Amino acid sequence: MGDYRTIGLELMRYESGTSAYGYQSFSAFTHFREGVSFIQVEVLESYLEDLLDLEITEDTLFIRLAGFRVRSIHWSLAGLLGALTIGLYAASRGASLPLSFGLTVALALPFAAMWHFAPRDGLARRLGFAQLLSHEIARRRGGDSERPTTLSPVALLEKLVAHRNPSAARIGCHPSRREVIS
């Protein structure tokens, strides 16, 4: 449980050290590597598997963001409501029905697209963490040479969607498991 907490804390520090647009700071990556340097590779692999399992909560992985955060779904709902309000206001001020409807649709379209992609925010965050952990595991396994053996985004998504049986490392290292390995 302590190792999971440490990994989660270091992932959160890494996330705060990168910008909102995905530009990675080399110092943030170095700090992450130093923070998890004493954790065994098997525990990192177990955490990676748990990170890719959507049934395991962010609280269990210690990556929950504290406090209320304005997410893209909040912005999209506010934008859709604003577009509807502006369209109704234009119609009430005497604009023709096609003009006010066209205005409403034109203003609402970007927010509708944002709303469509909003549920993927948490998934994209987990995928970014999974790539970071995959790079660290590959580096420790000797895959840092010419061809890194890290998982591609497509392979990570396949693992994320696929339902697998829990591995022995996952049973032994997962903090919420109560089984005893014999």
Query: 103 and 18 in one domain?
Result: no
Domain boundary among 119, 135, 155: 119
What's the pTM? 0.60
Residue 92 is assigned to a structural domain of this protein? yes
Residue 180 is assigned to a structural domain of this protein? no
Query: 107 and 42 in one domain?
Result: no
Query: 54 and 10 in one domain?
Result: yes
Q: Look at residues 87, 8, 95 and name the one whose alpha carbon lies nearest to residue 44.
A: 8
Quote the CA–CA distance of 115 and 40 in Å, as a whole number: 40
Query: 7 and 56 in one domain?
Result: yes
> How many structural domains compose the chain?
2
- The pLDDT score that the predictor gives to residue 49 is 93
Residue 22's domain comprises 2-68+122-173
157-173 confidence digits (pLDDT tens): 666 556 444 544 444 44
Residue 168 is assigned to a structural domain of this protein? yes
Query: 163 and 130 in one domain?
Result: yes
Domain boundary among 119, 137, 156: 119
Query: 56 and 104 in one domain?
Result: no
Q: Say if residues 39 and 3 touch (Cβ distance below 8 Å).
A: yes
Residue 15 is assigned to a structural domain of this protein? yes
Collapsing DSSP to helix, strand or coil, 94 comes out as coil
Query: 49 and 126 in one domain?
Result: yes
Quote the CA–CA distance of 62 and 16 in Å, as a whole number: 15
Quote the CA–CA distance of 13 and 32 in Å, as a whole number: 8
Instruction: Tell me the two tokens of residue 19.
Output: 């910008």
108-163 confidence digits (pLDDT tens): 999 998 888 776 667 888 888 999 999 999 999 887 544 444 556 666 666 655 64
